[in-house]
Amino acid sequence: YLYVGSGIGDIKKVEDSHIRNYLKNNNIPYKKILVVADSLPRLMTFLPRALDNWHIMVDEIDSYQTDGVYRPALELVIDYFCQKFPERNRCLVSATVRPFSDPRLANLPVIDVRYEQLIRRPIKMLRVNNIPKAVAVRLQAILRECPDDKIVVAYNKIASIRIIIDLLPEKLRDRCEIWCSSQSEQQAGAYYPEHIGTHLTKQITFLTCTHFTGVDIEDRYHLISVSDTQQLYTLLSPEKLLQIAGRCRHRDGLLSELFIYDIQSKKKVWGGSFDKQHNIACAEWIIQCLGMLNKGVENFNDVIQGNVVRAVASQVSEWRVTYGGSTPIVLVRYDIDKKLAVSYLNIDALDEFVRLRSRLYTHPGAIIKAMQTD
């Protein structure tokens, strides 16, 4: 197979010449390319225009519905999936599928594979008021009891991870590492690893969402997953917790699993309801507004200054919405054809945030019940 993406461990970023040579190599009759979402647009420039002999499989599709907020390339993957590949040459895969607001995906046929016997994992749950302090305390407690064991902390907020590390004794800070995207290397600072492989190179490893799915860790370790109600991207659903636990590929499984979370008072939570269709209609209206503005530039440039209209259009396209204190996000985006389109993944992310924040994280019993059910 050929890997196309950023460098990982001993694997270097593939050069254009390697892609061309792989595709031309007649000694490999059945070609398989493993491609990172951000690198798919690059790969598509090398594939033939007719893709009847190619099949695209998008793995962990549920993560696209949450991570698309800060990874715009994920929606481009959906564009390529729907617009470039034949209907019978494509599929989406996930262990935890949620409904899609994108009509191109909402009505896809589903093959549901069920386990004959569900495997339940023992999870300890800890509700706290001060997440960084609680995590730092638990890390020290585990290492006092098991000084040679490794620990993984799944927390999608580097600023808070740095606070946790600062709360640890100095002798433990040198044992820490932050696995995050290369775009966050500056935030991680000295804790950013030289390379990331299938083994933990430090005793305490912090994972951000870049590594919540798709990364295999062959060591046994204690897992601490952290759900923080302060941000859209730091809330964890029961499905996401399952994905995180699945990173451990050791045959004997995790040493232990702890879930640390906080609760947002109902008084502080936005009390309305989230209407997907209403937000989709708003996005379509924004696209219509921008279309009228662009038409004005084309037809009335002799009357009004085009640069003024373009400035207004730029502002309109960046209009952001928020619900219940969520991260402000845009409702529209530019697709692979550079045309404005509804940002369905962002709308799905808002829907998920409202569900978690207003239902599962306003009362201690709600998240416990959800974990027992799922």
Instruction: Tally Cβ neighbours within 10 Å of residue 252.
Output: 7
**CB–CB of 24/36 below 8 Å?**
no
Per residue in 318-356, pLDDT tens? Answer: 788 877 667 788 899 999 999 999 999 999 988 888 888
Question: Mean of the per-residue pLDDT values for the chain?
Answer: 87
Residues in CB range of 185: below 8 A, 6 or more apart:
192
How far apart are alpha carbons 128 and 230 in whole angstroms? 13
Q: Has residue 271 got a pLDDT over 80?
A: no
Helix (H) and strand (E) counts in the chain: 14, 14
Six-digit token pair at 137?
């305390």
How far apart are alpha carbons 92 and 62 in whole angstroms? 9
Quote the pLDDT of residue 320.
Answer: 83
How far apart are alpha carbons 311 and 293 in whole angstroms? 10
Question: How far, rounded to the nearest angstrom, does the alpha carbon of residue 204 sit from its chain's CA centroid?
Answer: 22
How far apart are alpha carbons 359 and 221 in whole angstroms? 31
How far apart are alpha carbons 259 and 136 in whole angstroms? 14
Give whole-number Cα distances, 346 to 104, 106, 286, 292, in Å: 15, 15, 15, 24
Quote the pLDDT of residue 297.
Answer: 72
- At residue 306 the predicted structure's pLDDT band, cuts being 50, 70 and 90, is low
Residues in CB range of 73: below 8 A, 6 or more apart:
37, 38, 40, 41
State the alpha helices, DSSP H only, in the chain: 16-24, 40-44, 61-67, 73-83, 103-106, 131-145, 158-167, 170-173, 185-188, 238-245, 276-299, 306-317, 344-355, 364-373
Six-digit token pair at 328?
């402000």
**CB–CB of 160/190 below 8 Å?**
no
Which residue bears the tokens 């040493």? 255
The mean pLDDT value for 121-138 works out to 94
> How far does the chain reach from its first CA to its final CA, in angstroms?
35
Per residue in 18-44, pLDDT tens? Answer: 999 999 999 999 999 999 899 999 999
Quote the pLDDT of residue 282.
Answer: 92
Six-digit token pair at 79?
């564009």
Quote the pLDDT of residue 268.
Answer: 53
Burial of 288 (0-12, 13-18, 19+ CB in 10 A): exposed
| Percentages (nearest 5) of helix, strand, coil residues in the chain | 45, 15, 45
Q: At what angle do helices 276-299 and 306-317 cross, to 10 degrees?
A: 170
How far apart are alpha carbons 352 and 361 in whole angstroms? 12
How far apart are alpha carbons 163 and 158 in whole angstroms? 9
Closest residue by Cα to residue 321 from 335, 332, 336, 308: 332
Per residue in 157-167, pLDDT tens? Answer: 999 999 999 99
**CB–CB of 330/344 below 8 Å?**
no
| The one-letter amino acid at 361 | Y
Distant-in-sequence contacts of 316-323, Cβ < 8 A, 24+ apart: 316/286, 316/289, 316/290, 317/286, 317/290, 319/286, 321/279, 321/282, 321/350, 323/270, 323/272, 323/274, 323/350, 323/353, 323/354
According to DSSP, residue 236 is labeled -
The mean pLDDT value for 288-301 works out to 79
pTM score, whole prediction: 0.80
